[in-house]
Amino acid sequence: MSVDQMSPSSPETMAQPVPPKSRTGCLLMGIGGGCLVAILICGGLAATGVISVFALLKSSQPYTESLQRAQQNVELQQQIGTPIEPSMLVNGNVNLNNDDGEANLNYSVHGPNGSAQVKVVATKTDGNWQYQQMQVTPDQTKTPIDLATPNEP
């Protein structure tokens, strides 16, 4: 039967029922999107926690004092140049209990001519920090420079 011969009421020309659209794709996209949002939130919270820990370590007196002494040390300035800047990361811990505590920190500093590693070990008694070790070791020479006593320029 040709197309011209089909009558409007013939079964070939009647609209076939459209099957309902599957919602499986939308459901999977919703679940995937929800999982992605959950992962991003968890990652954001973890990053915030890490940044907060670094901020707390960097605001401690052993860190700030050792960084200041490293930046003002003439011998270190001659070896790695100026300005001397700290790295983003700090390794170690600071434990405080009222006016007592202890600190054990390691971090890097760098200048235009090289970098160095700073190590600080200190205890706090009755509100005063005592440094058992505060030194900076340039990566080039590997010879530690004592920072425990301030170096007057």
Cβ neighbours for 49, distance < 8 A, ≥ 6 positions apart: none
- State how far the alpha carbon of 6 is from the alpha carbons of 10, 12, 13, 59, 70, in Å: 6, 8, 7, 87, 95
| Per-residue pLDDT at 42 | 79
Sequence spans of domains, the chain: 60-146
Tens digits of residue pLDDT in 42-92: 777 777 766 666 566 777 999 999 999 999 999 999 999 999 999 989 999
| Per-residue pLDDT at 93 | 92
